[in-house]
Each structure stands twice: as structure tokens, then as C-alpha cells.
Amino acid sequence: MSKELIRNFSIIAHIDHGKSTLADRILEKTQAVEKRDMKEQILDDMDLERERGITIKAHAVTVKYQAKDGKEYTFNLIDTPGHVDFSYEVSRSLKACEGAILVVDASQGVEAQTLANAYLAVDNDLEILPVLNKIDLPAADPDKVLEQIEHVIGLDTEHAVLVSAKTGVGVDEVLEKIIEVFPPPEGDENNPTAALIFDSWYDPYRGVVILTRVFDGRIYPKMKMKFMATGKVYEVDEVGIFTPKMKKTKELKAGDVGYVIAGIKNIQDTKIGDTITEDGKECKEPLPGFQEMKPVVFSSFFPTENTQYDDLRDAMEKLKLNDAAFVFEPETSDALGFGFRCGFLGLLHMEIIQERLEREYNLDLISTAPSVEYKITRTNGEVVYVSNPSKMPEAQYIQKIEEPVVDATIVTKSDFVGPILQLCTERRGIQKRLEYLSQERVLIEYELPLNEIVIDFYDRLKSVSRGYASFDYSIAGMRESNLVKLDILVNGEIVDALSVIVHKDKAYYRAQALTRKMKELIPRQMFEVAIQAAIGRRVIARTTVKALRKNVLAKCYGGDITRKRKLLEKQKEGKKRMKAVGKVKIPQEAFLAILKVNEDQK
């Protein structure tokens, strides 16, 4: 088959703008899937993905399209993850394409993720086909949205298509435009092999399945392939495409998108962004853009019951099999005992892992407040990276601390600009751009410390904008800051798992809010519990949980005894979900108190 008849493309969009629905329609129109077999959003196959409406893993489907010019084309549709946490994976998926369909909701217009995704596509030199979705909605205003796409993103909208993925209107035109707008792949199958890994996962029966785009040369069974970043060599067992079911093929050659199976047991060997070449007949240089995936958000997980430690480790090992970006190492906390320090690509990634551990593996976890990795220069000049507040060197040994910052993009209604600017200022942001997209829509760009983002920024943004703000960010580097470690003491003992790093100017306020919240969250016990917040040895805030005075069932006659039994059982179960720190029982939520501190109570 001629490369002229191949089109490799992605669909990119802001969440809920209809990316998956459009993908479903394309699959339907190309008869990859019978209409009666259609599950809603067929590409999202993991429960959690479906539930949250977010794509976590990349997918690729190969379909045939009978075009109006009488020729049969092969479309490789690559579905990208839909969240900022996975932006490196998104960029690698885009790298595998020549074009991207940019779906924009015709009633909502350009949102933060629209911008972020469009810029990623531009960075990867893709042709972009704007598609305005949901034109069936009464509130749709295509002209205005086209104007925004031209003006804000700077894209030519000459080929833009108006569709309703829901009703199917315009989808045929999209299929034709794909052929017209997106170029066919280049490359030569006779060159040495160069193929990009843009995703991989572990299949318990077949080992690691690699998703790849071949740029030059070929991949075929029995071939000795080599991963250029890791240097590992494997013999290929099988190659094929997704239709969307896995279908074996003879080979994958330049321009193709498909899967490779080679009996690989360890997903760490198949790094996303790495280049596959042929052992002994290597391509000159790897495809550009490879990076090690580095965790940016950290949290510690402890089992509520110490006896679950081994179960927790086993469960995390299993998750890691399929998630090269998730890292963890054993950690011992004075307060919480044995657990693990874990690193994630972002907050969503963290939540997903935590949810899977609790749901799929039935574990009761205590997690500590999310933190970021600080670069610390000691007074002796030595540089260390610290992602766990409790491991922070004492203040007198620190020459300077640098923290990661992000470039944040927010799109909102003009009514909410004031409160959002205030929030960003409170969070130590530096304004970079403020632009009216239209009379009522505003684009705001800020540089913000990541540690301010991981502490409930998104929830606060939603609340100050009443949900009318979209948000995206990318890591932008390190910035020196005046940061201190805030310790929390419960009955005089530092609870290491509760320590947080905060900006010095905000330490007092944070300490007040945090101790107040802890007081709310820690139930009264048989004795008084003192909660203090301290910087170094200096206590800057204090509250007390008074001793329990009353817990009594007033009526206990014949019929009440069964009720009483149930009540006491519930009482006991409630305590089981708490962690004993010394004699004090602390509920799970208290370890995340900092996330629940409402800044309105200033």
C-alpha cells in the first residue's frame, strides 16, 4: 500500500468538548465498529477512564475509509490522554501523527486545554484541522468561536468543519478534510528502522504491548529490535494493528501505526518517547524529543493497618507494571510507621493510583498532603533534592531553596477575573498575560509555584469562578523562594507525616488555618489533645481538642439493646479507620487537612 493513502492523526480537545464522541462517529462511519456493538466512547476501555470521562492511556485504531475520490485510505486515529498530568504522553502521541483535529465546543469556545493542546500540536509541526462540535446546540455560535481560534490560537480556519458528533452532521466532511488537509507520512521503508514508542502497557498474557509509529524502515517478527534510550535488545514476536481489536500483520513499515509484542516483562524497558531501531543496523540518531518521565507531585501512602503493608507493596508493584511514570520507595514515618513515598505525574495521576489501590485492591490508606520536589543548596554548597517535607534539612544548613514553577493558563468569564487574579496573587503568582478573547471571555496566564497548585488550587479556582474557568499548566522551571517547613505537633510530638513546606510570609496564616482544621477533624478522645504548629522550635499556632465529656446512650430498654450493639459496632469501625499516633487517634482526613483549609475563613 502506498504511503499516499495513509493519514495519521489525533483528536485533541478541551474536556467535554466531544473528542471521544467524534472518535466514535469516525469509527462508525468507517465501519470499524458495527453500530450495534458501539459502547459509548469505545476507546476509553478502563473503568476509571469511563467513569471520570478522561482518557488516561493512549490508543490507536486503524480503519479503512472509502473516499469520494474512489480510493481507499487507511486512517490511523491516535487517541491522546486528556489531562495535563499526561502532557508528555500527549506530546509523544502527537509526534506520531502528521495532523490533529482540534475539536472546539461551538457554544463554549476556546478553553485552557484547547490552547495547551493546540500549542502542543503546533510545537510538533502538525497540520491542524479545526472542528466546531455541538453545532446542534441552541447556544452554538460558530462565527464567534472561529474568530477566537484565528485570533487567540492563531490558526487558519479556512478548512474548519462544523459538526455535531452527537447527530452525525458534518462527520462525512471531516473524513474528506482529513485526506485533504493532513499530509501523508514521509519516510522510506528501506532506510534503517526508526520508530517512536508513544505508549506501552503490560498485558499479563503477552507481556508488554508497545504502541509505535514507524518513521523509517520496518518492524517484523523475528527482527532484533533495539531501544535506543535503554539499549535493550528484544526479538519481535508479533506486530499488528488495532481494528480496534488486535489484528496480526506481516510487518509495520514506514508510515504505519501499530503494536509490537516481544515478550518484554518490564515496562521500564519501553520508555515512552524512545526510538526502536534494528540491532546491528541502527538508524543514525534517535527521534527527537525523548525525555525520562519525571514525577512532579509526591505523597506518602501508609496502610491504616500495619498488617496491610505487604499487600500495599504488592498492589503498587502490580500498578507499576502498567505505569512507568509511577515511582515509589519505602519510607518510615515516626508517626505512621512503614509506608511508601510515591511520585506522580500530577494530582490526577495521584488520585487515580490512590483510588485504584483502595478500590481494586481493597486497601485502607492514609495519604499525606501532596508535595513537590525542592532543590536545596546547603550552606556547604551541596545541592540536594527533597520531595518529602519531613526530610528537609534544618534551616541553619540551608543556603537557598528553589521550587518548581508552572506556566498556568486560565480561561474564564470576565465576571470572575477579579477573584481569579486575587487567587493567583494569594498563591504567589506572577502575571504573564491577560487578554480578552471576546467581551465576556478572558485568557489569563500566570507563573505559579507548583506547590501552590497541588494544595487545592483547582478546587479554589472552581469555587471563585463558580465552575466557569478552565485551567491548564506546564512545568516551567525552578524559582528561588523564601520557604520554611511547618511542623505539626500533637500532644507535644512532631507528627512527621503532617509537615508541610510553605512560604514564610504565609506560614502564620497557614498554621492558624491548619491547626483549626485539625481541631475540627480530630474527634474528642478520653484526654485533652493539644495541636500546635511550629517553625523550628517556635510554636506559632495552637488549638486544643478538649477531652471527651459525653458519649452515652440515654435510653436502653428492651428494644434499644440491638440498636445499641449496632451503634457501638459503628463506633468501633469508625475508630479502626483512624491511625493511632502515640495514644491519639487521628482520622485519615486529618492528614490531608491542609487541602481542606478554606481560605475564605481568613
List contacts with another protein (CB under 8 A). 526, 546, 548-559, 561-565, 567-569, 571-572
Q: Which is nearer to another protein, 224 or 576 (CB)?
A: 576
- Cα–Cα distance measured from residue 501 to residue 186, given in angstroms and rounded to the nearest whole number: 50
Q: Which is nearer to another protein, 294 or 546 (CB)?
A: 546
Q: List the grid coordinates of 571.
A: 463506633
Q: Which is nearer to another protein, 467 or 559 (CB)?
A: 559
- Cα–Cα distance measured from residue 95 to residue 98, given in angstroms and rounded to the nearest whole number: 8
Q: Which is nearer to another protein, 289 or 523 (CB)?
A: 523
Least Å distance, CB 556 to another protein, is 6
Q: Which is nearer to another protein, 396 or 562 (CB)?
A: 562
Least Å distance, CB 523 to another protein, is 11
Least Å distance, CB 575 to another protein, is 8
Q: Which is nearer to another protein, 384 or 526 (CB)?
A: 526
Least Å distance, CB 573 to another protein, is 10
CA within 13 Å, CB half, 361: 23
- Cα–Cα distance measured from residue 586 to residue 490, given in angstroms and rounded to the nearest whole number: 10
Q: Which is nearer to another protein, 247 or 546 (CB)?
A: 546
CA angle 131, 137, 143 (to 5 degrees): 50
Least Å distance, CB 515 to another protein, is 20
Q: Which is nearer to another protein, 38 or 567 (CB)?
A: 567
Name the nearest CA neighbour of 210 among 289, 275, 116.
275
The CA-to-CA distance between both ends of the chain, in Å, stands at: 67
Q: Which is nearer to another protein, 430 or 561 (CB)?
A: 561
Q: Which is nearer to another protein, 1 or 547 (CB)?
A: 547
Q: How many CB atoms lie within 10 A of CB 237?
A: 14
Least Å distance, CB 587 to another protein, is 16
CA within 13 Å, CB half, 408: 32
Q: List the grid coordinates of 34.
A: 458495527
Beta strands in 414-468 (DSSP E): 430-436, 441-449
- Cα–Cα distance measured from residue 314 to residue 324, given in angstroms and rounded to the nearest whole number: 16
Least Å distance, CB 336 to another protein, is 24
Least Å distance, CB 150 to another protein, is 56
CA angle 42, 46, 49 (to 5 degrees): 85
| 413 CB burial (10 A radius; 0-12, 13-18, 19+) | middle
Least Å distance, CB 574 to another protein, is 10
| Close Cβ partners of 258 (under 8 Å, ≥ 6 residues apart) | 60, 62, 211, 212, 214, 239, 240, 241, 242, 249, 252
Helix, strand, coil percent content, the chain, rounded in steps of 5: 30, 35, 35
Least Å distance, CB 290 to another protein, is 57
- Cα–Cα distance measured from residue 342 to residue 501, given in angstroms and rounded to the nearest whole number: 17
